[in-house]
Structure 1
Amino acid sequence: MRIASCYFKRLVLIIGLTILIFCLIQFLKFEITFYDRNDRNDKLDGSPACKLPRLDIFNPEIMKFIHDVPPLQCSPEDWVKAEGSKLFIDKNAKNQYGQITCSFNEILRVDDYNYILTDTVETDKFYVLRKSDYAEVNCKTQTGKRWHTIIAAVRDDPERKRDVTWSKVPREALNLNILMFGFDSLSQNTFARKLPRSNRYLRQNLDSIILKGYNIVGDGTPQALIPILTGKIELELPETRKRMGAKAHYVNVYPMIWKDYKQAGFITGFMEDVHHIGTFTYRLKGFDEQPTDHYMRTYYLAASPHFKYSKSFCMGGIPRHLVMMNHIKSIFNKYKDQPKFIFGFHGELSHDSYNDIGVADDDVLHWIKDLKESGHLNNTILILMSDHGHRFAEIRNTLQGKQEERLPFFSFTFPPWFKKNYPQAYANFLFNAQHLTTPFDIHVTLKHILNFKEPKEGDIRNRGISLFDKIPLKRTCSDAFIEPHWCVCLSWLEIPLDQEVVQKAAQYLLKFLNSYTENHRDICEKLRLGQILWAAKLIPTKGILHFQKSRDTDGFVSELSAKTKLTTELYQLKIKALPGKGLFEASISRDINKNIFFTRISDISRINMYGSQAKCVENSLFHLRKYCYCKE
């Protein structure tokens, strides 16, 4: 009996061990299959190929540059105000000064650099705009006191209102307005730091979706906005640079997304301040024909000479950022029941300062709230965004500042019903917001809105992927058409500055910069090396792009794999050049076999302001501004 019992226990133990071994074998088979399958897909653990950096909003290295600025104190009074297309003399001004007579001249666009005024109309009551959205106003009292402004409103256009209706918008389009509004040079973190109330309202009250991995694809505003608006980079588009003379086209030749919306039956608008450095007019030739139904450049051409008579950042009693924001709101009110595509971009507050933008927080918050309370956000996609982080500032000279420059603020706010009506598209949007996205994706998304189809898995072979489709986790910067110089996903190892390769790379960089200005040595000093400030080497890992001298025609090469033999190395270094103490940050590749270096001008960033150092080229040789130190 005792022997039988022992035998039974031994048998149970053997069976148990057999089952355990079998389970272990099956588990190992599963693991091998799982990792093999995911390895082929460039995913080892389901994590994205592009790992975004974690950037502390309150990083002490950054916060030492952040401070509050006093609120704007604009003039307390405006004698003339606008309501729709009507410009009327304010009751409070009449009560204070008695009878006021005003002369009105509407401002008519000639081209992107000139305007004319209509004949003067005098009245002591009101004036209705007939030919333009903008007017010059001069007022005087019976005692001789004078007041002047340039005013923006929205003229009545019965024919346009009649012709533009939702019934004419294609059936396959989402019946949604598009309102894009951006501030220049705001990283995701800067938006959170300097516009905290607006940021909190977007997240908590509107469930806005912030694109955490929105990565720039080039240096400057044109390189940020052109891909959004056209789906292409400047080099792929017809020549529009001023310096190319008669060869240059007007920018109208670009396939702007607002043309698609106009053709689909939408009212269109483009607003941009700081006209002297306009996105399409500073270096490019500008627009021949007015590009959109409402075009605010004409206002700023007329108004900017008068800014000096107002307090800083004010136009009379109104903050200048509110002039644009109120104009956009007036357009939405005027065409409340018509489809609209409006894009406003404000640069004055934030282009040269990372603190001044803080004065706009309450105004931005109230503007968004008013859009919501007016019902506009019930049928509008609100896109608040920026082009890039700060490029020329002390913050940019820090390691985190470099990364923040590449990760601008970009957000989408959908109507409350959108999530319920389009659950898969919304879910994909939430997913994509946590991963690598680009300006090209924004363009495809805007296209998708006009021809909305069922969401699907995004095709990694496409440069741009609609954010309503699911972007594959295996997507890399190479897939997304982002050069290594701008990619936030890459891993870099800081290396000693006295290494021979660093010294040679720095000398090569100086030689390259000087070759760029060589033909203008009569006005541009030859640069010399002042100091090497920082150097790093790319850590080549599977799933990231690799940069070579002999690249494909589109500027990219295949990704590394376990079988790839490394023939080039990629370095980044930061130097100070003399004279002028210009700070340059460059990505430079080295051919290991030949021990030669290679870079391009697009792989070099000037990270401190050049100011008057470039005065001899700023009005003609625009492309040399960041690299030319003008001779005395």
Structure 2
Amino acid sequence: MAYIRLLNTRMYLSRRSLAGLIVGAVMIIFLSHNNSYVMTIKKNVFNEYDSNSFLVGISNDNVSDTVREEIQACIHPELDVDDPVMMAFYKKLPKVVCKGEKNWVFVDNGTLRFSEEAKKIHKDFHCDYYPLIRGPGDYQISFSDPIKDIKDGANLTSDFFKITCVDINNNTYENIHAGIHLNLTIKERLQVVKPPANGLGLSIAFLGFDSMSRMSWLRRMPLTRDYLVNELKAIEFQGYNIMGDGTPAALLPILTGKHEQELPEARRNQKGAASVDGFPWLWKNFSQHGYVTSWADAQIQIAPFNYRLLGFEHSPADYFMRPFYLAVDPLYHKYSPDCQASEPMHMVWFNWIRDIFNMYKDDPKFLFHFYTPLSHDDNNKITMADEDLKTFIQYLETGRFLNNTLLLIMADHGARFADVRRTLSGKLEERLPYVSLRFPPWFETKYPEIIKNVRTNVNRLTTAFDLHETFKDVLKFDGAGMGDIKNRGISLFKEIPKSRTCADADVAAHWCACLAWQNVPQTDPDAKRALQTALDTLNNFTQEYRSDCALLSVGNVTMLSKLFTSDDVLKFKETAGDRGLEPIMSAETARDKVIYQLTFFTEPGHGEFEITLEHLIATDSMSVNPKSISRINKYGNDPACILDKNREIRQYCYCKNNLS
């Protein structure tokens, strides 16, 4: 069977060398024992691109008459987990150690408990319990009047609370705790409203981690991954492609089925902007169909729906963890790094999820949780939690909490900042985050075609829109079979067509990991124009604020590449022969556009940008789609002077007052 491995010419090649043919200096094709291959063209390969766009297909010994159905359009690069370029950034860190006395109290399945150790050390201590109240909105909290002298074993009256304790020697304890209190309103709703009869009988538990590529997860989370894959038989996806820049671009398509620009205006400082409550959140769908729901994002400053967006006016789910983190955030400076009092911060998050499973063990659940602190700024920090995450998943499995649960462990994207992203391997890894799905054992017996399709889709191009459709299928299943390529989102329970391209999936060229790039010298006239066009675009964003923002110039150029269509693709017309194995290379298609990708620094401020632009050959014009611009190093306080005026241009503005 013929197969290929596509790699950019600047990509690290492992010792498992590729023998093969360099095509146009952008790809390597390795043919194991069948030299037949097919190049094919498909209309609309990239968003708004026509039939001259780039697509590579291959054939094996059994190519059918319908080339579109049998040739895999998107072949992702095969990355190396031991790539020395990436391993240079790897460092395993020890487990988190939290100094100081252990917590006096803890939460267990909706009840407040005093620790045995505290009862031995602190004789006759008593505690006051202050329920935490959310709101109004997403940015305010308060504590209600205390329940005085609360007793060990008392039922929680709120999910989050402050507790103060004192013993007979005036030793004190104060902390903020998270748990799940018994909400009778939710319990009564679950008794009345049941999931649809055509549902699949699954709960959904989504555990997301920030900035973890598939390769980074394999390097840094070996214990968790080994347990997931080898013990629980989780299915890992190798062709899951990000949709855009940052966490909102990753989560909004999953939770709403839409890009941010397709949703009601919710950005800060924008005319007519309102809270994100009006988005078509999946939490609403599941709540209306008999599920208990939750949203737990362990971050407040850069929360995906709060940093640029206005956040929620009302809680989006039955259980919502943001109020807890608003209360705790001012206290972190008092504790050991990565700790909240005597507990690692990630264990607080794990334990809250555990409590939801305990409180609603037999009820349908849609739990969507995302953890940022351990991996956003430094992937290596997540190594501190590998053993703990494995143990947590083991707890869920041995407690039979996963018996009716589809468990997703995944990331939003790969690392986006610092030196790792300046490498080609890092650039590719950013676009290919870790994604795994684990089904309970009975599910394959009952739905073998679904699991067959899921496994088939492992190496197909998949996206966040597909997860959205998958979740909807859990709620109301409409059959397996072949997915419709005309839909940008296809349930993973259906087979993703081999012929699917980034354009079909609504993935912009800027983010499509299927692309192959060729280096271009900076002396090339068109390359110079491309750089100037990119720079002009950046400066145009800040033109209105020129009194505040400095005019930028190009500094060091670190990458200048272009996507081109190979001669074989241009000449390919169709296949012939009884089995469709003979390519007819008679087409006279002309190139009509070139896509450039640039990475360069701007001065002043040493901002680093990655920009994709289009050169239309017929009109000899170049243009940049604003959505194809990424700021890839931190801007810190550089744009402080305009944050209150227009936060949307912060990544492009270097304040003039920084020059003095």
The two structures have a TM-score, normalised by structure 1, of: 0.89
| Moved beyond 4 Å, runs of 4+ | 33-40, 541-545, 561-564
Alignment partner for residue 59 of structure 1, among 83, 94, 99? 83
Q: Secondary structure at the match of 1:168?
A: coil
Larger Rg: 1
Question: Superposition pairs for residues 486-497 of structure 1, below 5 Å?
Answer: 486-497=511-522
Matched, 1:441 2:466: yes
- CA change 1:534–1:38 in 2 (3 A) is farther
Give the C-alpha shift of residue 418 in structure 1: 1.1
Question: Superposition pairs for residues 50-199 of structure 1, below 5 Å?
Answer: 50-75=74-99, 76-110=101-135, 111-123=137-149, 125-126=151-152, 128=154, 131-165=157-191, 168-199=194-225
- CA change 1:562–1:199 in 2 (3 A) is farther
Give the C-alpha shift of residue 381 in structure 1: 0.4
- CA change 1:332–1:563 in 2 (3 A) is farther
For 1:14-56, what per-residue CA distance to the aligned partner results, in whole angstroms no more than 9, with x for missing partners?
Answer: xxxxxxxxxxxxxxxxxxx99998586346xx44110111111
Tell me the distance in 2 between the aligned counterparts of 1:336 and 1:543: 58
Tell me the distance in 1 between the aligned counterparts of 2:494 and 2:374: 35
Q: Secondary structure at the match of 1:213?
A: coil
Give the C-alpha shift of residue 85 in structure 1: 2.0
Q: Percent identity?
A: 38
Question: Superposition pairs for residues 342-421 of structure 1, below 5 Å?
Answer: 342-421=367-446
- Report the counterpart of residue 480 of structure 1 in structure 2: 505
Query: AA paired with 2:369?
Result: G
Q: Secondary structure at the match of 1:404?
A: helix
The unaligned stretches of length 5 or more in structure 1 are: 1-32, 546-560
- Report the counterpart of residue 554 of structure 1 in structure 2: none
Does structure 1 conserve the Cα–Cα contact (< 8 Å) formed by 2:110 and 2:355?
Answer: no
Alignment partner for residue 320 of structure 1, among 342, 345, 356? 345
Does structure 1 conserve the Cα–Cα contact (< 8 Å) formed by 2:469 and 2:491?
Answer: yes
Matched, 1:452 2:459: no
- CA change 1:320–1:582 in 2 (3 A) is same
Q: Secondary structure at the match of 1:599?
A: strand
Tell me the distance in 2 between the aligned counterparts of 1:60 and 1:39: 43
For 1:214-267, what per-residue CA distance to the aligned partner results, in whole angstroms no more than 9, with x for missing partners?
Answer: 00111011111000001110111111112125x112211111111111011100
Give the C-alpha shift of residue 536 in structure 1: 1.1
Question: Superposition pairs for residues 503-542 of structure 1, below 5 Å?
Answer: 503-540=528-565
Alignment partner for residue 267 of structure 1, among 292, 297, 300? 292
Does structure 1 conserve the Cα–Cα contact (< 8 Å) formed by 2:413 and 2:430?
Answer: yes
Give the C-alpha shift of residue 612 in structure 1: 2.1
Q: Secondary structure at the match of 1:534?
A: strand
For 1:152-178, what per-residue CA distance to the aligned partner results, in whole angstroms no more than 9, with x for missing partners?
Answer: 011112342233149821110111111
For 1:448-471, what per-residue CA distance to the aligned partner results, in whole angstroms no more than 9, with x for missing partners?
Answer: 111113211111000100100011
- CA change 1:36–1:129 in 2 (3 A) is closer
- CA change 1:136–1:426 in 2 (3 A) is same
Matched, 1:303 2:311: no
Alignment partner for residue 252 of structure 1, among 257, 263, 277? 277
Tell me the distance in 1 between the aligned counterparts of 2:566 and 2:232: 39
- Report the counterpart of residue 606 of structure 2 in structure 1: 581
Tell me the distance in 2 between the aligned counterparts of 1:141 and 1:562: 87
Does structure 2 conserve the Cα–Cα contact (< 8 Å) formed by 1:165 and 1:338?
Answer: no
Give the C-alpha shift of residue 544 in structure 1: 9.8
Output the aligned Cα RMSD: 2.2
The unaligned stretches of length 5 or more in structure 2 are: 1-58, 571-585
Query: AA paired with 1:168?
Result: K
Tell me the distance in 2 between the aligned counterparts of 1:385 and 1:394: 23
- Greater mean deviation of Cα atoms: 233-242 or 261-270: 233-242
Tell me the distance in 2 between the aligned counterparts of 1:174 and 1:282: 36
- CA change 1:193–1:165 in 2 (3 A) is farther
Structure (1 or 2) with the greater helix fraction: 1
Tell me the distance in 2 between the aligned counterparts of 1:585 and 1:365: 36
Aligned pairs, how many? 582
Tell me the distance in 1 between the aligned counterparts of 2:67 and 2:225: 37
Query: AA paired with 1:428?
Result: N
- Greater mean deviation of Cα atoms: 67-76 or 224-233: 67-76
- CA change 1:584–1:436 in 2 (3 A) is same
- CA change 1:628–1:98 in 2 (3 A) is same
